[in-house]
Structure 1
Amino acid sequence: MSQLSDSTQRTILFLIADTGAGHRSAANAISNAIRLISQREQEAWLAQRPATEAEGELPPPTYRIEIVDVFEEYSRFPLREAVKLYGPTIRYNPKLFGEVFHRSNREGTVMAMTSLATPLIFNGLLKLFTTIQPDVVVSIHPMLNFVTIRALRQLGLKIPFITVVTDLISVHFSWFAPGADAYIVPTEQAKQLYLSRKLDPKRVHMLGMPIDPKYTREVAPKEELRRKFGLANDLPVVLLVGGGDGAGGLHAAVRAISQAHLPVQLMVVTGRNKKLYAQLQRTRSRLHVPAEIFGFVNNMPELMHAADVIITKAGPGTICEALSCNLPIILSGYVPGQEEGNIDYVVHNDVGILALDARTLTDALRRLIKPGSPELRRRLDNARKISRPASSFDIGDKILSFLPGPGQDSVWQSQGKHPVQYRMSGRIQSAIRIRRLHNRLPKTITRSAMVRRLSRTQDISNEAAKPARRLPRRNIKNRI
């Protein structure tokens, strides 16, 4: 890989916000798929290298991928702090969040919110773009789309902008900001909602929900996986998942199954909810069913393939992951507003049900674990019909199709360089010069207290970023 020239490198910038774990998970899923696509391209080219070099064929590009939490790293007070209220709100007052979602889901409110937020993030976006110099920008958060399109227009560069929608049915108005080059949606219902906005039908692509490529890989047989996780092979396995934050009525579901004395064994994934993990570990010995308790995990495909049924909140990522593993779904909770449509998706396709109370949940579980259950067989068949485990590869291919072709310069390079600098404001040009100088200096100099003070002084005088902050370390910076 090192033999290939950096002149063929392309930069892909993903814009996210860590409001829940779903947006980052989607960005990671697509970037992992692009990495695998790139590996296949490089291997195919190297295998035919003598012939391709003789014909003057250029090597396939390599990809530098950046995933940026824009609100955390490039917005100003109070916007940065306001976004952090998402997690506590859905946990402690979900009805309030649902009301805000529905009231804001219209053009007038979205445009008013955009006008209020733009002064608090616009300069940060310009700084981000001129620092990273992406060849394509991909948004995986609805609140970023309108302002990003404005910022790209301010630069005057033809940088492709793509929106990847991560809500299955309840797609907020802010997802479809006019002016994007492509809109990638997960379902036919989302596509129809896009078309109802009278936007260009050629720009919408129904490619599925991005889930990690590891869901396409073969795993060990169910019996072997159960031995690995300390489970018996003679009892049905129920997997309980509450999302990255461990929400969604997990504790209540565990208690209901235990009190019903169902002939099952449990695997419970509490995610980042350390309090719930400790609570379940303390009470595990008093449960009337065997249970294994996990915190945040990186082997969810194995856990899903070891299970017979999944109980989860109505997060779109977990739903699509479960479908790719042919699991029937019992929804134990949902976030009002954005996850309401996910319930319709599960119920309408007959791959699961909503069970918000203990009686409904245990009755549904009892029917599914019954030997020879026709309901289980029907839902497994339906899951196979609508699952799209390779969706991230399709989305990755679509994103790559917007990059400059072999031998073509980036919009940031060569002949386009001088017109771009001319159109930029003085403070943005200054930010670029400082960053380039910083990259050329030895680390012993750039880390000195004097240079840091000078950098902060320059940032303030040029108003390139408010408040003055050092450039953050990137979440992902890969040369693939």
Structure 2
Amino acid sequence: MHPRRILFLISDSGGGHRAGAEAIAAALAERPDADAFEYRIEDALVQCRFPLSALNTGYHLALKYGPFVYGALYHATNGERRYRTLVESCNSLYRKALLRLMRSYNPDVIVSVHPLLNHVALRVRSELGSRAPIVTVITDLGRVHAGWIAPSADAIVVPSAEVRACAIERGVAPQKVHLLGHPVHPRFADYDESRAQIRERLGLPQDRKVVVLMAGGEGGGKLSRITDAIGTAGLKNAHVVVCTGRNETLKARLEETSGAFDVPMTVLGFTHEVPALMRAADLLVTKAGPGAIAEACVAAVPMIVYDYVPGQERGNIDHVRRTGIGEVTLSVNQTVRAVQRLLREPRQLERMSECERNIARPQASRQIADLVIGFAGIRQPQYAAAGR
């Protein structure tokens, strides 16, 4: 019998969809029964007709030049009937590409990590007469867009109790909803270096408060202004680490001018040391990407969330506020004041860390992988109980 085939459907409109799929894939690859299955991660929308094929480029341009326009589009499509109409109207754009993909790979189970592709996969599966189960993995942490909720999917993995309640409220049978957490890469769970060891290895001071600044893989948005403001805020006994991601222009500028700041600063580009940096840090300053928030919870590093994608990430900042895992500051001045205050309040930082430890799900990717394997027919999943 051929290995069971697992097809991940994503879009690279934002890094979170691929990161979630890759985290689950990493958990699959480490399993002792890994020779019983194979998997493929497909950016399905780039294979479709225009304008769906240009969604990734359009998404990045919209966030760079017109984020509130993007937010308006998000809200305009955020309704069950409106989204169904959108999916139906786009049928001619995606149908042939998805039929071709499904026929060529013939998956035994389909994992959708994108709201549009949930519904597309269901329609194409029906047309093909396929029996492959469809598992939706929701990555947003708060109240989510209607597109994420596809009641006909065979299972829906949710990252938080709030999203579970939202899915059931919108008609998903409770037994289909699996509260397993956001798919954080297994390396976050397995990290065993101490804070002192990490700081020594990365050349960070042992006797200062370490503040890590991030803005996702692209290093855009307010990160430049936040860095300049924090770098000139007169922080006492602190060391700042800035992760600029793929933003080489910002990295070069900060490397050239870091000597002008009144706080010691380490500038990093795109790095795989994020698990270590989060454990080395006393405070994380980041945008409201669900992956960064979930990773921070696993590392138990208190956070300040300073920016969000309109509409899409609003539920994430609500999640941060509601759970007490961090503070939300939506201006540069608010962010600087929060950093200054929290570095003087170790008890508040510890309270945030405790809240993070209470909701962290470090084994989420492995549990999701187990669920997927069960649907692929290899064995029954250990974590199939709804709400577990």
- Normalised-by-shorter TM-score class: over 0.9
Q: In structure 2, how many angstroms separate the alpha carbons of the residues matched to 1:93 and 1:326? A: 34
Does residue 207 of structure 2 align to residue 234 of structure 1?
yes
> Number of aligned pairs?
378
Structural mapping, 1:255-266, within 5 Å: 255-263=228-236, 264-266=238-240
CA spacing shift, 1:354–1:320, aligned 2, 3 Å? same
Structural mapping, 1:335-354, within 5 Å: 335-354=309-328
Q: Secondary structure at the match of 1:85?
A: helix
Code of the residue aligned with 1:378 in structure 2: it is: R
Does residue 298 of structure 2 align to residue 324 of structure 1?
yes
Conserved in 2, the CA contact under 8 Å of 1:239 and 1:309?
A: yes
Conserved in 1, the CA contact under 8 Å of 2:150 and 2:172?
A: no
Give the equivalent residue in structure 1 for 2:307: 333
Give the equivalent residue in structure 2 for 1:456: none
Give the equivalent residue in structure 1 for 2:198: 225
Conserved in 1, the CA contact under 8 Å of 2:305 and 2:327?
A: yes
Conserved in 2, the CA contact under 8 Å of 1:170 and 1:337?
A: no
Conserved in 2, the CA contact under 8 Å of 1:170 and 1:339?
A: no
Give the equivalent residue in structure 1 for 2:39: 65
Give the equivalent residue in structure 2 for 1:360: 334
Conserved in 2, the CA contact under 8 Å of 1:324 and 1:388?
A: yes
Q: Secondary structure at the match of 2:309?
A: coil
Q: In structure 2, how many angstroms separate the alpha carbons of the residues matched to 1:110 and 1:69? A: 21
Give the equivalent residue in structure 2 for 1:115: 88
CA spacing shift, 1:359–1:81, aligned 2, 3 Å? closer
Conserved in 2, the CA contact under 8 Å of 1:334 and 1:340?
A: yes
Conserved in 2, the CA contact under 8 Å of 1:330 and 1:353?
A: yes
1:388-436 deviation digits (Å, cap 9, x = unpaired) = 1111111111111111247xxxxxxxxxxxxxxxxxxxxxxxxxxxxxx
Give the equivalent residue in structure 2 for 1:49: none
Give the equivalent residue in structure 2 for 1:12: 6
Conserved in 1, the CA contact under 8 Å of 2:151 and 2:171?
A: no
Give the equivalent residue in structure 1 for 2:383: none
Give the equivalent residue in structure 2 for 1:154: 127
Query: Post-superposition, which runs of at least 4 consecutive aligned residues in structure 1 deviate over 3 A?
Result: none
Q: What is the Cα deviation at residue 8 of structure 1? A: 5.2
TM-score when normalising by structure 2: 0.94
Does residue 363 of structure 2 align to residue 390 of structure 1?
yes
Q: Secondary structure at the match of 1:195?
A: helix
Code of the residue aligned with 2:272 in structure 1: it is: N
Further displaced range: 205-214 or 372-381: 372-381
Code of the residue aligned with 1:166 in structure 2: it is: T
Code of the residue aligned with 2:285 in structure 1: it is: I
Q: What is the Cα deviation at residue 13 of structure 1? A: 0.4
Q: Secondary structure at the match of 2:144?
A: coil
Q: In structure 2, how many angstroms separate the alpha carbons of the residues matched to 1:228 and 1:192? A: 43
Q: In structure 1, how many angstroms separate the alpha carbons of the residues matched to 2:169 and 2:356? A: 28
Conserved in 2, the CA contact under 8 Å of 1:219 and 1:302?
A: no
Give the equivalent residue in structure 1 for 2:386: none
Q: In structure 1, how many angstroms separate the alpha carbons of the residues matched to 2:203 and 2:378? A: 51
Code of the residue aligned with 1:9 in structure 2: it is: P
Does residue 263 of structure 2 align to residue 289 of structure 1?
yes
1:9-34 deviation digits (Å, cap 9, x = unpaired) = 11100000001111000000001111
1:207-245 deviation digits (Å, cap 9, x = unpaired) = 100010001113322122212222221110000110011
CA spacing shift, 1:82–1:29, aligned 2, 3 Å? closer
Code of the residue aligned with 2:315 in structure 1: it is: G
Q: In structure 2, how many angstroms separate the alpha carbons of the residues matched to 1:109 and 1:65? A: 33
Structural mapping, 1:391-470, within 5 Å: 391-405=364-378
Does residue 237 of structure 2 align to residue 243 of structure 1?
no
Give the equivalent residue in structure 2 for 1:439: none
Code of the residue aligned with 2:143 in structure 1: it is: S
Q: In structure 2, how many angstroms separate the alpha carbons of the residues matched to 1:300 and 1:364? A: 22
1:24-61 deviation digits (Å, cap 9, x = unpaired) = 0000000111112x22x47xxxxxxxxxxxxxxxxxx5
Give the equivalent residue in structure 2 for 1:48: none
Of 201, 207, 213, which aligns to 2:180?
Answer: 207
Give the equivalent residue in structure 2 for 1:478: none
Conserved in 1, the CA contact under 8 Å of 2:199 and 2:205?
A: yes
Q: In structure 1, how many angstroms separate the alpha carbons of the residues matched to 2:256 and 2:70? A: 32
Which of 1 and 2 has greater Rg? 1
Q: CA RMSD in A?
A: 1.5
Give the equivalent residue in structure 2 for 1:92: 65
Q: In structure 1, how many angstroms separate the alpha carbons of the residues matched to 2:321 and 2:378? A: 44
Code of the residue aligned with 2:259 in structure 1: it is: S
Q: In structure 2, how many angstroms separate the alpha carbons of the residues matched to 1:20 and 1:356? A: 21
Q: In structure 2, how many angstroms separate the alpha carbons of the residues matched to 1:131 and 1:160? A: 17
1:418-459 deviation digits (Å, cap 9, x = unpaired) = xxxxxxxxxxxxxxxxxxxxxxxxxxxxxxxxxxxxxxxxxx
Code of the residue aligned with 1:298 in structure 2: it is: H
| Unaligned ranges ≥5, structure 1 | 1-6, 43-60, 407-480
Code of the residue aligned with 2:16 in structure 1: it is: G
Q: What is the Cα deviation at residue 305 of structure 1? A: 1.1
Code of the residue aligned with 1:336 in structure 2: it is: P
Give the equivalent residue in structure 2 for 1:21: 15
Code of the residue aligned with 1:390 in structure 2: it is: Q
Conserved in 1, the CA contact under 8 Å of 2:143 and 2:166?
A: no
Give the equivalent residue in structure 1 for 2:107: 134
Give the equivalent residue in structure 1 for 2:141: 168
Q: In structure 1, how many angstroms separate the alpha carbons of the residues matched to 2:337 and 2:103? A: 57
